Structure 1
Amino acid sequence: MKKITALSLAIVLTLTALLTACSSGQPHKEGASAAGSSNEEVTLKLWYPGTDETVTETVEAIIQKFETKNPGIKVEATFIPWAEYFQKLTVAYSGGMQPDVQGLGFGQLISTVSQGKYLNLTPFIEADKWEGQKDFFPDILTAGQYEGGQYGLLLPEIRPLAWRKDYFKEAGLDADSPPKTFDEIFEYADKLKVVEGGKTVRGGIDIQTSNGEQSYLSLLLLLGEDFYDAEGDPTFDSPVSVQPVQKQVDLYKAGAIIPSNQQQASGTPFQNSQAAMAFTSTQAAASLQKSIGSDKIGWVLPPAGPDGRQTALMLGTFLSAAGQTKHPKEAWAFIKYWFEKDNVLEFTSKSGAIPPLQSLRDEYVKLGEGNEIAFEALKDAKGYGASGSWSINVKYLRIALEEAFNGIRPVEEALKENAKMAREEIANAK
């Protein structure tokens, strides 16, 4: 027993001496001057959805400025097309190869936040007494919250109605007078279509016929409806919800809609000058304005529904961090830097997103005519409600819409049968 004790004491004394020598008498510190890490250079991996040059160049500019102010931190950005993004991110998380910081689409965050993948930013916000939290529009800040934690900060974009003034003139319509009511949307779309040799070469309106829940929801919100309720149960088979799908299918059969996928890498028909109207993202329209000239595109709040609603679909990209990142302080430092006023203004003015900071409203509105419409639309805008059943509802809604557009089932039957299957899958998942 005495031998063991003596041996143990010798080992302890030896280890103590070694540790003292290694530390040179200095306590170990976590954190660089700006971000809170060691003096060794830290590399953050950033994944961001979208490969549009306007967005990638703006993100790279923010990274360059951040690295200059934080010489101990490098940010390696990877830009991935939206159509591939979430699948690649899911695979990366499954294999433990996730990025430190990522952009997440609106639906991506709210449908996966309950899985414990993402870093809760609240402790960092509170520790820094971050002033930006008070400057955020409350509803936009809340969009990234879950069970009291802040898991993402939103760079919002909305879906107001955009139209091609030059195409309106060609069709004999007033270029400065877009549709004002729900029914006029479809009337104008039919008048604006261009059919040559039995083939539609220009659609009257840009409605995605595959993965088309965003186009559908833009119309449905004007009727005061959503495609699932607060409990996450599907409602897209209600009589009111069937109406806009039937109108879309009728337009499609009449040649006023060009088939498209909302996630196709080549862009939607409106982005490619193949449609006269669209409930398009402010980001996409900003890119189109750059290529064809802002004088050819008009912006307006969505046409009024039967009860006067002009609710715009609000989506956007969340910035969030991985819960398992080895550099949480640096990840937060980068996210926080992105949301500094000058950086937010630069990003939103170039990318087409909208500043989520209230103090930037006047400055942003001065930068362009459409910006005032964007802020006005935020007063009555709605995004997806947080629900773990979001992906199930979207899956069956997409199937229903594709069945309806392709004539596989009548509209009402397609919606009712798929809503039924969604309810069954949701019940089985509980």
Structure 2
Amino acid sequence: MSKKGSLKTTKRTRLYKQLGVALITLIGLYSLFHHSSKNVSLSTYTTIGSPDYLEPLKYAPSSTALPTDLPVDHNKYTRLLPFKYNGKKEKATFVTLARNSDLYGLINSIKAVEDRFNSKFQYDWVFLNDEEFSDEFKKTVTALISGETKFGLIPNEHWSYPSWIDKKRAADTRKTMKEKNIIYGDSESYRHMCRYESGFFWRHPLLDEYEYYWRVEPDIKMYCDIDYDVFKFMKDNKKKYGFTITIHEFRDTIETLWETTREFLSLYPQHIHKNNMLDFVSDDNGKTYNLCHFWSNFEIASLKFLRSQAYRDYFDYLDHAGGFFYERWGDAPVHSIAASLFLDRDEIHHFEGMGYYHGPYHQCPINDQIRLHNKCACNPNDDFTWKDYSCTLKYYDINNITKPDGWKDHTG
């Protein structure tokens, strides 16, 4: 090759290299811009039928670094983030009832909720325990949570037998249920938990400042991104109870719950809402209970509802009837019956677009558009929503809600 030809080749090679560098730079700038705008922009609710009016997420850099040593003798811990959400937030919090031994089953739940939702909005998180939380528990969960963490001790009177309960009768019940292999039938602590979740958690002083709560339990999974403020959705749409999974209760655990409820309703007919959802919990206009309930390990709900006179009267009546100990009344049917009878049916909402798991049941959106848009990491074939043992189909039918395309392919 001539010297002149070699020079042309060298210049051409340099030009290609320069073009390559320029192209890589442009790609990098585009990726950076696209990633940044993706993290801070939001235009729509991802739930079917939700209004399209949300403002973009508003963030501001934090000037304070994360402390290297969190205090170990204080009730509150604050995690300082590199970016803080500056948009308007509702008076809302996550609530978790847990023991110190639940810590390492709980951290995956917290991480899932934070990654999929709360890191964007940074709501507070309240932890409640019938014993003092350990320093290890406090430090570990605080490091994972973007909002403020608060730790509360349950008063003894809220986690013990009330004076009117016959403890021997309660013990006999547990023994009988154990012999019948009824789930949690012999558990004393489970009964205290159900009673507490039914009638007391919302009375804890740490929740006084809030209007909404989202209940989170250990060992759950959140399958989908949630890019809108669910608490704002609840308030703007006047929703008071939100759920993901419905199921039938075990009849042997609540043999007299409906009978007791009917007695209550005869004494307090004023608490029944005119546009109630009795047809969700009863197939014969209230004569019997069909066992349908919202699975309360996931709840996004109004604390005002639980603080209402109707709910307070209902819980007090059930509590004095003794069924939390003489049977094994769960907080899920208690909450569900109360919501169905005391709320307007339009105030109850199914979060169809949320992917959720609490063993052994999954909610995975079967709508391809919702599932892909929300980056759901789940198999729609595992979805429990439309199965025979679920009550969600009934909820859709009695409320004349349009079911997603292909729902019949996920029944059985």
Is TM > 0.5 for Structure 1 vs Structure 2?
A: no
Q: Higher RCO, 1 or 2 (CA under 8 Å, sep at least 6)?
A: 1
User: What TM-score, normalized to structure 1?
Assistant: 0.21
